[in-house]
Structure 1
C-alpha cells in the first residue's frame, strides 16, 4: 500500500482531510505545515534566528542543552513518549519566541506524506537550519516512497485504543512511535539516527511537531475518554523554561489539550472514512458477532537474532476454511535486548506458511540506551515493538496445509561494522477469531 497524503498514518481506507480552522485566539499559536512555508515566512525566519543564537550560547538556553535534554531525559518505547516530546516542543517554542522577539512563533510541522520532499529552506546549504550530518542524498529523497513508508499497520487515528496508539508502561512503543516515527529518524540519518544526538538537527523539531499533530488528531477523534487515570497522574521532566531554568516535574494530565498549552494546528491529520459497506449477502449491512475464541502464545529468546512463534494448529485450520463471516484479530509484540548491538537495525516481522511469507511490520530501531547514574528506569527493560494483522493474512494461509508462524529478525543496516547480532528476548501474540453472521 502506498503511503501518501490520501493514506496518512490512518491505515488503508479512503480518507478525508480533517481541517480545523486556524481560528487565531489571543495567546494561541498556530502551527503550520512546512510545505506551505518559505525561507521568508515569519516562523521559518524566527526558527533560523533562534538556532543561530542558541548555538552561540553555553548556558541553559543553548542549542547543546536542548540536545542534552533529549539525550538524558526523553522517553522512548513506552507510554510517555508522546507527552514527553509534546512538553519539549512547547518549551522550545517559548524559548524561540523569547530569544527572537517573535511572540507568535509556532513550530512548523513537516508532514512527509503530504510534502514528500524536504523543504528547500531546511535542506539548502545556505539555510541556518541546514545540518551537514544527514544521510547522503536526503535533499532529493522522496520520503513517501522510501523504505518503511508504506505499511498497512501504522496508527489508526479513529479506532486505536490507548495502549495501541500511545504505548505501554514500563516499556512498549505505540503504533504511532514504532511505525510513524522511527523510520524518519533513520531515513534522515546522521544526527537523527540516535536519541543522544537527534535533537541537534533542526529537522528533529519539525518531525516531532508532525508526530504531535498525529496525537492531536487521535485525541480529538477518540482519545479524550480513553486515558487511564494512573497514566495522567504521572509526570515528565527534564525541560528548561525561557530563563534556561529547570521546570521540574510536569503532570502528564496537563499535556492532553494543545490549546491549554498555547498552540493549535492549522489542520489535523487525515482520518479514515469508512463509507463503503462490507461485502456480503444481498441486503446485508454488516457482521454481528455470535461467538469466538482467543489463543495467546509466547516464546522466549535463546540469545539469537531470529525467532519464530508457531500459531495454534486449531486456529490455522479454522482460518484456512474461513468464509466472509470470520473476523481475525492478531495483536502481538516482539522484544529485543536493549543494547548497542540493536542500534541501526530494522525489525522485520513476518507471517510464514508453506514457504511463503507476508510482512506484519517493518521498523528501524530508535534505541535509547541507559547511562550509568542517569534516570530512565523505563529505558532499562527490553525494546518492544508491537505488530498486528487481520483478515489480509487469509490469502497466505489458503495456499497450503502446513504450519504457520510469526517470525522476526533484526536486519543490520550497518553490516560493514560486523557487529554482534541483536538478541531477541521474547515474542507474544494474542489471536482472536470471531464468528459472525450477516445482518
Structure 2
C-alpha cells in the first residue's frame, strides 16, 4: 500500500485546535459552530475531525458522503456544507466500523487525514481534537505548527480540574492558548430568568487563575441538539439565538487573540497626528505623485507598489500601468486582480478617518470614534443579547487608533488610544458599513 502524500498545508493561513481535557463538554459542537460562524463572518474555513475514536463532525455537518478524488489523483477533496470545507473519519470508514487503535495508529491516522486531503486555500483550519492529553495531542502538537488552541470546558468543577491539565499540556508544547470557552453555561428561558443547571460559572475565574484569556460563555440553547442531529448547526439555523450570538462573540474574540498572539502581521498601519482639515482622498501609490501622506499606506514599507490584498495573498505587482495589483471598477479578472470584497488599499485619510479602497473600486470611510464605539468584542457587547455595554458610553470623543494590523486575509485589528485592543473588524463588517461616515466635502 502506497504511503499517503505528505501534508500540504501551504495554502492555510492559521491552524486552530479545539480541545477539551475530558469528553462530554460539547467540544465537537463547539468546533462545528465556530467553523460555521467564521464562514458567516466571511472567512474561508476548513474543519478536520481529528477525534479519531469518536468522529461526529460528518453527522453534525449533515453529510457522511465519501469524498471525491482531487485533480492530482493523489488526494481527495473535502466536502462542503454551510460554507465550511470539512472531512471526518466517518467520511472514509463504514458507519458501524469500530476504531480500536493504539496511540501510534491514531497519530498515523491523523497524518493520513491531513496528507490525503487537498485543503486548498483557507484562512483557518479548525481541528476537532480528541479529548484528553494523550498521544493525539502530542502528535498533533509536534507535527503541526498550531496558531493557537481554544479550550472548551463546562461550569462543573471536575471539568475545570481536567481543563487545567489540558492547558498545561499545550503550554509545554509552546502552543498559544487563545482562550477558555465555557459551554453549557446556564439556561436563559423565554421569560428572561437564568438557571445555572450545572452549577455557577467558574470559567472566567479559572481562566484568570491559569493566566489565559476568557473567550466567553455559551448558554444551554434548546436549538443546539436538534441542529446537530439534523446536520444544520445552530450557528447556521439560529445565528441570532442565544447560542448563535455567543458563538459569534467567541469567534471574534478568538480571532482577535490570534492576531495578538501570532507572528508578524502581513500589514501594519501606524497612525499619526495630522493637521486639522488635512484629508487624503487616495492611498499613497494609487497614482503617480499620489496625494497620500508619505509612509501611511501601511502596506509593509514598499511605497504602495502592491495593494493590501496582494500582500495578504502573497501576490506580485501587476504591471498594468495603473494602480498596482488593483481590480478595476466592475471587477478585473487578470491574475493580479483584487476580489471585489477585499481591500485593495487601506490608509489614514485624516486625523480621525480611515480610508479603504475595495477591489471593485468602491471607497469607504470609517470614523475613529464610530469604529471604536462599534467594537464587537465581548468587552463592548453583551454576549447573549448583543446589546452595547455601558463601557462603550465612556469612550472619549477624541479616541484615535494607534495602529491597525491585518488578521490573516479577512480582518483588521486596531489598537486604540484608550488602551482597547481586542475588537476585530472583518472585511465583511467594514464593507457593509461598520463605522462608516461621509468623507469631507
Same fold (TM over 0.5): no
**What is the TM-score when the length of structure 2 is the normalising length?**
0.20
**What is the TM-score when the length of structure 1 is the normalising length?**
0.20
